[in-house]
Amino acid sequence: MGSNGTIPLKDIWRMLDMCAPEHRKKKTDHCWRIWFGEHTTKLPLGEHGKRENPPTQIGHVRHLVRLFEIDECARGCLPQL
């Protein structure tokens, strides 16, 4: 299965709130940094300009889900996975 498509950032935050409630996030100049347990990853901010709810490529989200080991819960929250 390929990594085509995008997921809105607000849907990713909702999924993390449900599947990794102890996660932390911080917006930097170039990305969102996300911590959960002993792991850290990042998500791109999106295109330049208005970045209120940018679409994030599914490949970035799949990497985050595998790293944080929240596969089953994430699939229940995000059908795109």
Predicted model pTM: 0.90
Strand partners, 33: 26, 42
Q: What is the pLDDT of residue 47?
A: 78
- What residue spans define the domains of the chain? 6-77
Can you say whether the dihedral through the CA atoms of 50, 20, 62, 35 is positive or negative?
Answer: positive
The tens digit of pLDDT for each residue in 22-80 reads 999 999 988 999 999 999 999 999 877 667 888 999 999 999 999 999 999 999 999 99
